[in-house]
Amino acid sequence: DGVTEVLAHHSESLQDKFVEIPCSEDYDSHKRFEGCTPRKCGRGVTDAVITREEAERIRRIAERGLSLGGSDGGASILDLHSGALSLGKHFVNLYRYFGDKIQDIFTEEDFALYRDVRQRIQQRIAQAFGISSASMYLTKPTFFSRINNTEAKTTHDEYWHPHVDKVTYGSFDYTSLLYLSDYAEDFGGGRFVFMDAGSNKTVEPRAGRVSFFTSGSENLHRVEKVHWGTRYAITISFTCNPDHGIGDPVLM
């Protein structure tokens, strides 16, 4: 595992922590979007953008949605935009599968909170990287994840493999994670690990904490296996390419 350095402890409240790192060469082979495509790369952590109370309200949205399904393995996904929901070993479209019942599960306020949180995270990323927030677009997939220590049943449950978001998702230029539960209190394991040459930089989740980074191979990362409890988070990512942009989710 090499050397592990904790970038953000769960017990501390961080105003803003930003570490600049050299950009990988990935960006040379992609179309550049002036004022958005990363020229400065890095990773940041802040506890000052979303309150713990807001994180709790968002976690309840995730809990309500995921109560309709859930994976047989340890990792369940809910994507409010596409409607994708883990159900057993498969995915269903929440909106088609549950139809009008959706109105009993989510409210307009839920979706307004989601929008508001997305906008604040977007502004924080733009500020950290010195780009214009207007040149960034929300991109898919944006999703809630619920992870526990149930054994993996399909490859979708194997969340712990090292990966690069730009390779996995293509459209991602900036990735953010909003944590909705607390490391060491709500769950054990499940820390987020940036894998640098010769060392690991670890982020310990804390409700309301936002971790964000450029999505290229300068930020190879993985999530540790969850040993006990339940870890909730939401992944909200942005692209510089307007063709890959999506609107905020709306209550069907």
What amino acid positions are annotated as catalytic residues? 231
Q: Which of 237, 203, 235 is nearest to 58 (CA)?
A: 235
Distance of alpha carbon 113 from alpha carbon 117, whole angstroms:
6
- For tokens 């709790």, the residue is 56
Three-class DSSP category at 127: helix
How close are the terminal C-alpha atoms of the chain, in Å?
46
Tokens of 95: 């909106």
Token pair listed for 84: 């994708």
CB contact at 8 A, 208 and 154: no
Judge residue 231's burial from the number of C-beta atoms within 10 Å of its C-beta, 0-12 exposed, 13-18 middle, 19 or more buried: buried
Q: Please enumerate in sequence order all residues whose Cβ is within 8 A of that of 122, keeping only pairs 6 or more positions apart, or say none.
A: 133, 136, 138, 238
- Which among 172, 171, 180 has a CA at the least distance from the CA of 215? 172
Length of the chain as a residue count: 252
With 0-12 / 13-18 / 19 or more C-beta atoms within 10 angstroms meaning exposed / middle / buried, residue 5 is exposed
